[in-house]
Amino acid sequence: MSTKLTLSDIADVRAYERERDEFRRHVIALKKRRRVHVGPIVTLVFENRDTIRFQIQEMARVENLISDEAIQGELDIYNSLVPGPGELCATLFIELTEDAQMREWLPKLVGIERTVVLSVGVDEAAVLLRARPEAAHEAQLTRDEVTAAVHYVHWTLTLDEVAAVEAGPVSLLIDHGSYTEAARLSPETVAELVNDLRG
């Protein structure tokens, strides 16, 4: 079975309103397990089928997208963020709220989407898996002078690397020249990632 979303997975507006409260609670709990803060201003959320379905459903609700063509357009944009077996996908947020912070940090953090690393294992034996920017969005989000506040990143892992993630420990690192931070993933987050990787 494909992990990608299709038109039949997206409820029409009235049907979605009936399930929205329960589905929203589910996704909030899911994102809590899948969110990793890396230092003071960067957060990554590991996406899966449910988080992306929620994104599309909410967009359709707010923008009143009711035609198959409009929904298919959103599926075409966001399906690349639904991981297949052996893959991880994440949205990277640079979390700045004040204009002065944005003017200071966004030019400094150009290229940050290429500096995200999953560290799997212990000390010198750790395997470092560098993320790559998600191709469909990269052209829109990559600039020479200033970075976007949101990026999408992917990893593709071998079977041995998947087994290493399962064994742990797992950390997220950012090794950008202007921002070097690390965060150990909780067992709950690692379990979510293993589910993604195992398909």
- Interval 37-53: pLDDT, tens: 999 999 999 999 999 99
- Report the alpha-carbon distance of residue 167 to residue 192 in Å, rounded: 13
Residue 118 contacts residue 88 (beta carbons within 8 Å) = yes
Ordered DSSP codes for 17-59: HHHHHHHHHHHHHHHHHHEEEETTTEEEEE--HHHHHHHHHHH
CA 162 to chain centre: 18
Q: Can you list the residues of the chain whose pLDDT is less than 50?
A: 1
Q: Which residue matches tokens 């944009």?
A: 77
- Interval 108-143: pLDDT, tens: 999 999 999 999 998 888 999 999 998 766 666 566
